[in-house]
Structure 1
Amino acid sequence: MRGRSRLLIGAGVVLAVVVGAFVLTPGGALARSLFVLREQRTSCGEVEHGAQGGGIPADARDCLDAAWESGAELTVMTPTTEGDPTFTYYRVGGGGLEIFRDTTGDTYGSGTWSRSVCPGDDLKGALERC
């Protein structure tokens, strides 16, 4: 019994270290890992804006709304004021929206990954909640 307790405690310590490494690692390692390991979905395209504030074009919104339950994703590149690229990945499927932001190319920004999960009945409703 004593050996089993030590094994369980040891496994718990290892798990805590691994989880802590993901959560405390600079650069949004957990969000980046979730993005890299994501299930591939139908593409609604890649949008590259020449200036800030471009948003999601109407045809891409229509694509994401049409795939709200079945799943799709969209990549949007928006430059910073200085011209550095930042990427936002919109993913729908199963009745929700997942947004990944990659600012690692932003020289003067946070340089991290982030992830948001937004509930809603459609893309518009989910974006309003995020």
Structure 2
Amino acid sequence: MEAMEISRSGLDVEWRRLEVIAQNLANMSTTRTGDGAAYIARRLVSGPVESFQRVLTTETETASLHPNGVRVYGIEAKDDGVKRVYEPGHPHADEQGFVTYPNISHAEEMSLMVRTSRAYEANLVAMAAAQQIYSSALQLGRQS
């Protein structure tokens, strides 16, 4: 896989991660989802397309000897669960007066968003550098 394709796969993964973070932030105060349960925060699980061990142990000259970028493995619920807040006047309060909210930390989500944005920017820079290198190689080829 070429450098630009690896960066593109990284851009795709980080964009999806930003979408999941945005969903978590948007649902911080959601007391009920469509099925009646409380919203549970989610995390994107990503990693390399091919295991590093397999790349190291492959003996033939195939495409598997080259990095294949990253991919999304799935979206999982966070283990933090929910928090119960005493609000007896809330329409979704139970018989004891507690309302169930997702246990989402605004600060944690925002710091993860900044980190994800930086990873996205790094992939953009890597893609631009690869494009510049390819362009320079073309210029050298035209001169000879």
Larger proportion of helix: 2
**Taking CA–CA contacts closer than 8 Å with sequence separation of 6 or more, which of the two structures ends up with the larger relative contact order?**
2
- TM-score with structure 2 length normalisation? 0.28
- TM-score with structure 1 length normalisation? 0.31
Larger proportion of strand: 1
Q: Please identify the structure whose Cα radius of gyration is greater.
A: 2
